[in-house]
């Protein structure tokens, strides 16, 4: 059984399974971008990749 969902950030198909740890996002990058929009909305269009967010410092949500 394979279910795919569109990434909320880039609309790429994301497999809804344990193989997609960043679901519903396609990648950690898209997840960070989405989470960062609330404080970085001025940059989200011109700079889709934010160098100010270290990839390993995302606190767990749960
Ligand atoms: Zn994406």
| Model pLDDT for residues 15-56, shown as the tens digit of each residue | 999 999 999 999 999 998 887 865 555 555 555 566 666 667
Distance 1 CA to ligand 1 centre (A): 22
Q: Which of the two residues, 4 and 52, has the higher pLDDT score? A: 4
Structure confidence at residue 31 (pLDDT): 92
Task: Give the Å distance between the CA of 25 and the centre of ligand 1.
Answer: 5
Q: Residues with beta carbon < 5 A to ion ligand 1?
A: 7, 9-10, 12, 26, 30
Distance 32 CA to ligand 1 centre (A): 10
Inform me whether the pLDDT recorded for 57 exceeds 80: no
Per-residue confidence (pLDDT) for residue 37, from 0 to 100: 67
- The pLDDT, as a whole number, for residue 50 is 64
CA distances to 5, 16, 17, 59 from 1, rounded to whole Å, are 13, 10, 10, 31
For the chain, which residues make up each domain, given as ranges? Answer: 4-39
Question: What is the homologous superfamily of the domain 4-39 according to CATH?
Answer: Erythroid Transcription Factor GATA-1, subunit A (3.30.50.10)
Is residue 37 within 8 Å of residue 44, measured between CB atoms? yes
């Amino acid at each position: 059984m394979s279910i795919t969902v569109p990434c909320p950030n880039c609309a790429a198909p994301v497999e809804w399974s344990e193989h997609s740890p960043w679901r519903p996002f396609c990648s950690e990058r898209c997840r960070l971008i989405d989470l960062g929009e609330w404080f970085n909305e001025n940059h989200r269009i011109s700079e889709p990749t934010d160098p100010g967010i270290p990839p390993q410092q995302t606190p767990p949500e749960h």
